[in-house]
Structure 1
Amino acid sequence: MGEFLRARRARVEPTDLGLPAGTGRRRNPGLRREELAALAGISVDYYIRLEQGKETNPSAPVLRQLARALRLDDEETGHLFALADRAAGRGPRVRTGQGVRPGIRQLLETLRPCPAYVRNRTNDILVANPEGLALLAGIDDWPPERRNTTRYTFLHPAARSLFDGWPAVAAATAAQLRTAVAADPEDPALPALVEELTEASADFADLWRRHDVRYRHTDHKVFHHPAVGDITFSYESLGIGPDGQRLAVYQTTPGTPDHENMRLLALIAEQG
């Protein structure tokens, strides 16, 4: 929570909030602690304790005042509350589930030729239909236990050319992982993945330090697939249980070139 507050404080300039810029050069960007404390209506000492992790049970009104002063959006505010709950020991300790229900496995087949897969909170691919694996070009070169969409985005050589606008995709991927860590910081797989990516990818390390958060449920995604060309999908991510499992589904509109390329991807997946 302290790291998140520091990161967000550094992004807000006093002039953004109508405060005087002051004289002289600031040693660090963003608001000073005393400025943020005044805007949030709390003491400087109390705020410093929050940043240092010595105060772990801020009230909801204090969190709302901080969110307002830092100009947090809805997702960032939710993230701040989740971090506070964890710091205070509130909330269930939900473990990341690995078993996928038979009905979900059947649904993956029913969804074909739409690419689809199930991930856990760590973004490990637990099960996928053939199109789901074929969409992430080259991921089947990795053993099943390493097939993870975050790892793929940052470490697989095909990812930078597969995803349209890779920098934006990478930023969103890191932000989504940040929300997962807040949801279950005691899951050992999450910090292990963060450590692996931080050591292996300078891009990930830079993005991780930004403390961005994102809850991604629906989107449009463009793929430059090496086997079938460009495909624009509508994307849905659906929670399918209390253990962090999510069903990812990629769809196209019938009668469009995107749909024909998706059907071609399905043929390739069937043959491969």
Structure 2
Amino acid sequence: MNGTDASAVGALGDFLRGRRARLSPEDAGIVSYGARRVPGLRREELAQLAGISPTYYTRLEQGQSTNASETVIDAIARALDLDDAERTHLHDLAKPARHSGRRPARPDAARPSTVRLINAMADVPAVVLGRRTEVLAWNPLAHALLAGHYDPASPERPADRPNLTRMLFLDPHTRDLYARWDEEAARDVASLRLFAGRYRDDRELADLVGELTLKSDTFAALWAKHPVYKCQSGRKHFRHPEVGEFELEFEVLHLPDDSGHRILTYTALPGTPSELSLRLLGSASITSAATT
């Protein structure tokens, strides 16, 4: 078993144990007898709910069985009462790795048509993200919103591309940007977990996780909980150094291929102070671009 596969097996076991621990016998409709040394369901109880043998489930959780059928995984997901994102993540972790884990021959890049699309959205901050949350492209308003202290052309240079997760945990300017940083951090880690499960062979993604685990105790603690969340839409609260505090709605648009690329956009509710703040930021970014 290579290092990538071993990591995946560990992730599968961690995920299953964590989800067992959060489900009480009462929640699962099981009569519990005697004291429990650990919270949640026992392995044999989960196996009973899933309709599989306790021995087989134990082997699966310990990484000794790597060929579980989709039917078995679905049964375990139902027994654990997983939501859609968690169910998808479980299937990803249970599948054999698709590739050898070699680093890509060429750096990732956004499609030119996608870059033209976000640049046409002049009044909407828009970013093209890679699967590792690296910024492949951003329009001027997104740069002004998220990283005015970065070189606007940095996404064009693979060697020093901004990475939103790295910035969130290691860049003090980015930390100050989010008025509800703890909420943003939890959401970011839970979303990254989905991509780590889907692209287990991605060495650069594994390297990012390793780097952040070593450099940020908060990231390490969140990652160890194995949160999973499909980040599609919501609200973010900003404390911007130029225009102050405001909130924006965000949408994540996943591109219909296997690249893992997605477009992240931000909008303000019409007629709100946040809309005015976004307009002021847009005006400031235009002025700044004209003077450079």
TM-score, normalised via structure 1 length = 0.90
In 2: Cα distance, 1:109 partner to 1:137 partner: 17
Runs of 4+ in 1 over 3 A off after TM superposition: 93-97, 141-144
2:23–2:41: 8 Å Cα contact kept in structure 1? yes
2:47–2:57: 8 Å Cα contact kept in structure 1? yes
Q: Any idea what the Cα deviations from partners look like across 1:214-241, whole Å, max 9, x if unmatched?
A: 1112222221212102222221111234
* 1:152 equivalent in structure 2: 167
Which of 202, 207, 214 aligns to 1:199? It is: 214
Which of 272, 282, 286 aligns to 1:266? It is: 282
In 2: Cα distance, 1:149 partner to 1:59 partner: 36
* 1:242 equivalent in structure 2: 258
Q: Any idea what the Cα deviations from partners look like across 1:178-211, whole Å, max 9, x if unmatched?
A: 1111111111111100001101111111111111
Q: 1:187 to 1:209 in 2, by over 3 A?
A: same
Q: Any idea what the Cα deviations from partners look like across 1:49-104, whole Å, max 9, x if unmatched?
A: 101111111122211221111111111111111212236x59xx997972222222
Q: Give structure 1 stretches of 5+ with no counterpart.
A: none
Q: 1:150 to 1:139 in 2, by over 3 A?
A: farther
Q: Any idea what the Cα deviations from partners look like across 1:135-170, whole Å, max 9, x if unmatched?
A: 124551796525111111111113333223221211
In 1: Cα distance, 2:86 partner to 2:271 partner: 39
Q: CA RMSD of the aligned region, Å?
A: 2.4
1:122 aligns with 2:132: yes
Q: 1:82 to 1:174 in 2, by over 3 A?
A: same
1:86–1:182: 8 Å Cα contact kept in structure 2? no
Q: How many residues align?
A: 268
In 1: Cα distance, 2:195 partner to 2:34 partner: 41
* 1:251 equivalent in structure 2: 267
Q: Give structure 2 stretches of 5+ with no counterpart.
A: 1-11
1:233 aligns with 2:285: no
Identity of aligned residues (%): 43
1:139–1:152: 8 Å Cα contact kept in structure 2? no
In 2: Cα distance, 1:167 partner to 1:140 partner: 23
1:94–1:243: 8 Å Cα contact kept in structure 2? no
2:136–2:161: 8 Å Cα contact kept in structure 1? no
1:12 aligns with 2:23: yes
